[in-house]
Structure 1
Amino acid sequence: MSKFIEKITKIVRFPLLLAGILILTGFFQYLLMMKDVRGEHYDLKLFQVSPDTIRSVKTVEDTEKTEKEREEAASEVEPVYTYSEEKGKNTISMLNTLFDDLIDRQKKVADTKEKERSKVLNEQIKSMQSDLAKITDNENKIELNEADLKLLLTSSESELKTAQQDLVKAVERQMSSPIREDRLMEARASVERTIRYSSTFPSKLQGVGIRIGRAALVVNETKDEKATKERMDLARASVDPTKILQGQIIVQEGQVIDRNIYRQLQLTGLLSDDASIKPKLGLGILILLQMLFFYASFAANKRKADTEKTRDVLITSLIYLLSIILMQILNLIDGEFDVIVGFLFPAAVAPLLLRILVSERAAILATIMLGLSAGVIFQEGYSTVIQMELALYMIISGLASVVFTRRIENRSKILTASFQVAGINVLFIAFYLLLTQSNYTWNELSFYLIAALFSAILSGALAIGSLPFIESGFGIISSFRLIELSNPNHPLLKKILMEAPGTYHHSLMVANLAEAACEAIGANGLLARVGCYYHDIGKTRRPGFFVENQMNGFNPHDQLPPDASSDIIIAHVEDGVKILEKHKMPREIIDVAQQHHGTTLVKFFYYKAKELDEKVEEEQFRYSGPKPQSKENAIICIADSVEAAVRSMKEPSAEKIRDLVHAIAQDKLMDGQLDECDLSIKELKIIEKVFCETLNGTFHSRIEYPKQDKA
């Protein structure tokens, strides 16, 4: 896998590669989670018997029922009426005017001579007919025919006055009370009875009097349309919307689906014909946001090489998708139990792995995103959009695992961290159970307690079990593995210490230099340190041929020709690679041993050979390489030469060390040993500065104490 990653990063730029990996990750996540937002839909018909008890999956307003209830409330509102006292006064005034006019005309007819009376009477009748429209109005329309007028005008003055008084009293009595449209006929009948049974009303004028009285009465209390409408609107507004609540049972199993139930099923979108695309679009937006966060996080990392970043993205995507698959497997049995089975999910396994293999930032981000995904996956059909308690459980458990793995030095302590996470899980479960304010049985409480412990311990076990496979598959070495390899009790380190103690000490010194320089430029300092411990393991085959292991001033190279000595020196690289491969050491450690000399020239023996033969070939005295391929290996290459050179100095000073370090670094640069790694000139200067600071601290000047005389 590591070789494949190296090849693809050379072909495709990292931003495009990152986008492509995340698009595929988001696509597979969408396929895995699509069924979780599809919801339940039923193929039901009107008047069919329901096969299941169906609950509403959301809260919706029943607009039809709400409108019906509002209209019922409005219809029950009593109309607002307005009583007009003025109409009564106007009616009485009109009656008095009418009879006053009749009395005046009657006098004129009565005062006329007998022979002309008939003519005057006819003239008054005609005049009166035309004046009636002026005396009465449209509402109090009084119509009197010729016979009625003739009867009135031929009656005596006293008869007319008596009729006026009785008629005005009868009408006034009725008009003093409210008369609505529905009471008008009753009021007119009452006036008619009053006149008909009056002992004083002239009998011959009763008929015409009744007609005048009935016509005079009008409606004096009318409906106030504006006020009535306002009251009806207020009644409508006072009716709260009728809602179908989330989780509410719409129809029980075995119940007939009537029109009202069918309409509610339509409103809540539970019928197969009403399946909405909105939830699927919502899921797509959620996944898009998640992938954008991942993209921003990985794209912002400028400290790692593209190969390492690509590997990190692949590991994160793999662990992320495997976690979602595991959630889906657990979700298959979630509906079979009354408890929330999702609490069994090993929420800390993904953060643990990503914290160890990738970075703390990736672990935290994945924790939050998996929490959101879990909230959608485990949400129930009539619950909220996200199962919030499970989402929070995943996030808190994951964050706890990140915090508790910051100082872990070996794999065995992952289980210790798991027990710490278990404690956090138990506290969160307690918070959840207490906040719900429900009564739980002992079986339920036992399940949640066991789930909290099981989730954390399983997370640790899965992390420990899967780490070697992921490390092997992606060709990576975790900080845990490096820390384990740095243990002085490791068989190979004990081998170096026992067989080549000078080499062991040299390796420690080089490790200090390399680690400090790597950390200064953002490279992997721990990898550089551990790699230095093993970089000269090949010298254990012939330890006496290397100056740091020689004692008593004996040097076997004094007895050998230069080319043979050169071959022995160069062979320690190949010997070291074989030893490391035999012990199945990580590829990164083997690369350090293989590349720490690159293709440099063994100058001492080359120039010695050249003194004997001018035609000697330089390639014969060079290491076989390859040249350093990473920043860490390049730093180790320089540090190895610097440490050996400074150690051989008789009187090291800060200035001498600075000049020597710069000379060696420039020699490596000019010799092309740094051509195949991405080390910049700026970083090279930083490395030189760190080397000088570290070496000055090691080879500092010592105070000469005065010799004491012997007693």
Structure 2
Amino acid sequence: MNDKWRKFFHTMLTQNHFIVIILATLVIGIIFFLFMLTNVYTKTYDINRFSNAKETIRSPITIEDTKETERRRREAIQAIDDRYYISSEITEERIGYVEEIFDAIKTLKSQSNSTSEEEELTTVDYVQDLQQMLSPEIIAQIDQKTLSVLFDANENDRSISKELVTTTLHTIFNEGIRTEDVTDSLDRFNERLRFSSLSSKVKSALSDVASFAIVENSFFSVEQTNEAEKQAVNNVEPVTIRAGEVIVQEGQTITNEIYEQLKLVGLLNDDRNIYPVIGLFMLVLLIIGYILYDLTHLNKQIEVGIRSCLAFIIISLLMVAFMKFVSYYATETNPLYYLLPVPVGAMLIKLLFRERTAVTFAIVFSIIGSVIFNGQIPGALNIEAGLYFLMSQLGAILFIYNTKDRPAILKGSIGLIVINICAVSLFLFLSYEKYEWTNFLVFGGYGAASGLIASALTLGSLPFLESGLGILSDSKLLTLASPNHPLLRKILTEAPGTYHHSVMVANLSEAACEKIGANGLLARVASYYHDLGKTKYPHYFIENQMGIQNPHNFIEPKQSAAIIMAHPYDGAKMLKQYNMPKAFIDIAKQHHGTTLLKYFYYNAKETYKKVNEEEYRYPGPKPQTKEAAIIALCDPVEAAVRSMDEPSKEKIDQLIENIIYDRLTDGQLNESSLTFNELEMVKITISETLNGIYHSRIQYPDDKKLKEEA
């Protein structure tokens, strides 16, 4: 039972690439989550009130201290005095009464000057008349004695008195008189009166007038008071504990205020906040979704199997491990992330796979870097680090323009160094802080060293990933394409016809693969080795039968079929012995699929009554990839066209059409994921390539014929 389950899971993982990709992205997501966790889920402390802090503790977040803010607002409200409004109506009314007294006296004085001696009245009579003229409020509070003194005063004293009383009252009333201020206001008036040149009688009378006139004219204003309190509250800035701010120094006593602050920012064991972890989980989900989409798209172009996924996991692990290690030593004054060779990951992915996937991971590593270098402050992102990583990685991807040339990595390092130095300078110039030239030299040196280290690490680690995981990079394929390779020399020397056939198949396959977006270089190099098995019995294959009789004429059709059908598997065995890439081995096995050896099958049917068709079919498997399927089509097409006496475009096109139709109806392309649209493009490309090779040439007449015609 265990063996069955083991076999089931092995089949699922090796044949269903989508499941492998999902599992790989989940593993990558777990790696990212674990490495970023401490940057959002900070350390907590077991601290008691009034104990001494064992270490300096900083706030991990920026948060408002609402209790302290409220306390300051209460203090601001308490500091606001009650607001009063001054009634101008009362002011005008009371001063009007005073002016009324002096105007009435002036009127009576003018009347007294015009009367005859017989009609002359006493002061008492005039005061009585004066009382008849004045308002009841005045009569009710000012006695006759006061009015008599003012009436008897000379005109100059009355003028001075009126001016003195009205101006002083204006001043006092305009300042506002509350109930409790009436006595003080009268004292102020009397103090002003004391320094005047008037007689004591007049001063006393004026004091009585002021005592009558001075009343409350300033009243409590609820609206103004509320507005003042509201303004005071608005002027109080919220008390904020900033991320990174020191809450308590090492050895300092934990007061109630400090304890509440520690509790507020979630640094106590009982107050751990789970929300940052939820946020990190959501971020990782978005990242792995982005990676999953790209790898699924990549799988349509090249096979993304277990080995490829392992490469992505290893590269991702190394990149975040580098970041995490350096982050422990980086500070605001010493940004060591400038020295970090982050471009290694993007460069390796581009060299091993493709540029688009390298850009995807460059963006991902930049986002992760902005979290890891946040100073372990939850909710904060180091945008400068993230942008630096992004520019550095994109620069590396841009400058490695030729992935088939390993020295291009070293050449690209020069451009990478320039990009890094420019990025560092950009951040320094944009900063508000003043930097010295030594800072430019040091930080610029970090950027230059990062470029050199990244190139060196890429060159050093690339062979290990290629050989250890069996990943076929362009550079490795070019190495295997060298004619000096022992297996290619073996084909050339032992089966030269097969070698020429393989080169032609390679040309056709590469052109067709590149047309539909498949791996043309893989198809070319795999085609060189696909018929390696023919070297075991080279003369049994027609392309190697030069100047000899066909050995199949002397053996049974069944024996001939067995020899021919064995060559894919003989070749796969040889390739395996030489530790050649698995893709080559699979293509060698699959390039004939389960096709029927029609020539020997029909020969057998002419000789024997009962012939089992299965004995004349290749065991398979059928082509599993686009590259294998295209090679499986180009192989018979090239052999058939080469056997034509006078190949023309019409004949070649018809031959290609027949072979492709035969493979389709026989189900040989069912497992290759080739679409009908892609198959049509392949057919056109093969036709154009073959017609370019076998194009019609002008037949030049020989010298003998020219002489006869002359």
TM-score by length of 2: 0.77
Q: Which amino acid aligns with 2:327?
A: N
2:12 alignment partner in structure 1: 7
Partners of 1:562 and 1:609 within 8 A in 2: yes
1:216 alignment counterpart:
212
Residue 175 of structure 2 corresponds to residue 174 of structure 1? no
The residue matched to 1:623 in structure 2 has which SS?
coil
Given the alignment of the two structures, is residue 462 of structure 1 paired with residue 448 of structure 2, yes or no? no
AA of the residue aligned to 1:552: G
Distance 2:7 2:386 in 1: 35
Structure 1: any 5+ residue segments left out of the alignment?
105-120
Equivalent pair of 1:535/1:589 in contact (CA under 8 Å): yes
SS of 2:696's equivalent? coil
Match of 1:324 among 320, 327, 351: 320
How far apart are residue 603 of structure 1 and its match? 2.8
Output one character per residue of 1:12-64: Cα deviation in whole Å (capped at 9) or x when no partner: 9x4x8866764564354323312102346566666655544455556667745
Distance 2:650 2:491 in 1: 33
2:190 corresponds to 1:185:
no
Deviation at 1:533, TM superposition (A): 0.6
SS of the aligned residue for 1:700 comes to: coil
Q: Matches of 1:396 and 1:504 in 2, distance apart?
A: 47
- Contact 1:661/1:688 (8 A) holds in 2: yes
Matches of 1:278 and 1:98 in 2, distance apart?
86
* Equivalent in the alignment of 1:118: none
Pairwise CA RMSD of aligned residues? 5.0
TM-superposed deviation, 1:318: 5.3
- Tell me the residue number matched to 2:137: 136
User: CA offsets, 1:414-455, max 9 Å, x none?
Assistant: 555456534543444454556554234787776665455334
- Counterpart of 1:7, as a letter, is M
The counterpart of 1:511, out of the listed 506, 513, 526, is 506
Which deviates the most, 681-690 or 510-519? 681-690
Counterpart AA for 1:185: L
1:471-518 deviation per Cα after TM superposition (whole angstroms, max 9, x unaligned): 3xxxx5333332221122211111111121111101111112222222
Q: How does 1:374-523 map to 2 (within 5 A)?
A: 374-381=369-376, 385-409=380-404, 414=409, 417-418=412-413, 421-432=416-427, 437-439=434-436, 440=438, 450-471=449-470, 476-523=471-518
- Map of 1:569 onto structure 2: 564
Per-residue CA deviations over 1:153-187 (Å, capped at 9, x if unaligned) read xxxx9778327987996575233221253541314
* 2:679 is the alignment partner of 1:684: yes
> Quick one: percent identity of the two aligned structures?
36
What is the CA distance between 1:393 and its match in structure 2?
Answer: 2.7
Q: Which moved more, 1:555-564 or 1:211-220?
A: 211-220
Deviation at 1:308, TM superposition (A): 3.5
* Count of paired positions: 669
What whole-Å deviation, never above 9, does each CA across 1:276-333 have from its counterpart, x for those lacking one? Answer: 445434434433432343344445568448x638876675455334432443244345
Match of 2:33 in 1: 30
Deviation of 1:620 (Å) = 3.3
**Farther-moved stretch of structure 1 (636-645 vs 187-196):** 187-196
Deviations 1:644-689 (A, max 9, x none): 1111111111111122222222222333433443334444333332
TM-aligned CA distance change 1:534 to 1:479, over 3 Å: same
Contact 2:186 2:211 in 1 (8 A): no
Question: Residue 213 of structure 2 aligns to which amino acid in structure 1?
Answer: L
Letter in 2 for 1:466: L
Match of 1:293 among 290, 294, 302: 290
- Choose from 630, 636, 643 the match for 1:648: 643
Change (3 A) 1:21 1:87: farther
C-alpha distance 17-128 of structure 1, shift in aligned 2 (>3 A): farther
Task: Output the CA distance in 2 between the equivalents of 1:585 and 1:302.
Answer: 22
CA distance in 2, matches of 1:603, 1:556: 18
Aligned counterpart for 1:161 among listed residues 151, 154, 172 = 151
Deviations 1:126-164 (A, max 9, x none): x999x9996217xxx9547xxx77x89xxxx97783279
Q: Is the 8 A contact 1:58 1:247 kept in 2?
A: yes
Say which SS state the counterpart of residue 308 (structure 1) adopts. coil
TM norm structure 1: 0.77
Distance 1:49 1:71, change over 3 A: farther
From 77, 91, 95, the counterpart of 1:88? 95
Q: 1:597–1:623: 8 Å Cα contact kept in structure 2?
A: yes
- Mark the CA change 1:581 to 1:42 in structure 2 (over 3 Å): closer, same or farther: closer
| Structure 2 counterparts to residues 43-442 of structure 1, below 5 A | 49-54=52-57, 63=69, 67=73, 84=91, 87-94=94-101, 135-136=136-137, 142-143=140-141, 161-162=151-152, 170=161, 173-177=164-168, 178-179=171-172, 180=175, 181=177, 182=181, 183-187=184-188, 189-190=190-191, 198=199, 212-213=208-209, 215-218=211-214, 252-255=249-252, 276-298=273-295, 303-304=300-301, 308=304, 315-316=311-312, 319-334=315-330, 339-381=334-376, 385-409=380-404, 414=409, 417-418=412-413, 421-432=416-427, 437-439=434-436, 440=438
Q: 1:412 to 1:572 in 2, by over 3 A?
A: farther
| Distance in 2 separating the partners of 1:573 and 1:262 | 77
2:304 is paired with a residue whose SS is helix
CA distance in 1, matches of 2:196, 2:426: 89
2:598 to 592, 597, 603: 603
1:495 to 1:227, Cα distance in 2 relative to 1, 3 A: same
Structure 2 residues not aligned, in runs of 5+:
1-5, 112-124
Pair 1:323–1:79, CA change in 2 (3 A): farther
| Residue range with higher mean Cα deviation, 643-652 or 179-188 | 179-188
Q: For each residue in 1:556-578, what CA deviation from the matched residue of structure 2 results, as whole angstroms up to 9, or x when unmatched? A: 33333433333332332232122
2:545 is matched with which residue? 550
Cα distance in 2 for residues equivalent to 1:194 and 1:418: 95
Q: Deviations over 1:345-389 (max 9, x none)?
A: 331222123223333212101111111111111222579922233
Residues 60 and 245, structure 1, Cα contact 8 Å, conserved in 2:
yes
Distance 2:342 2:648 in 1: 56
Shift of 1:95: 7.1
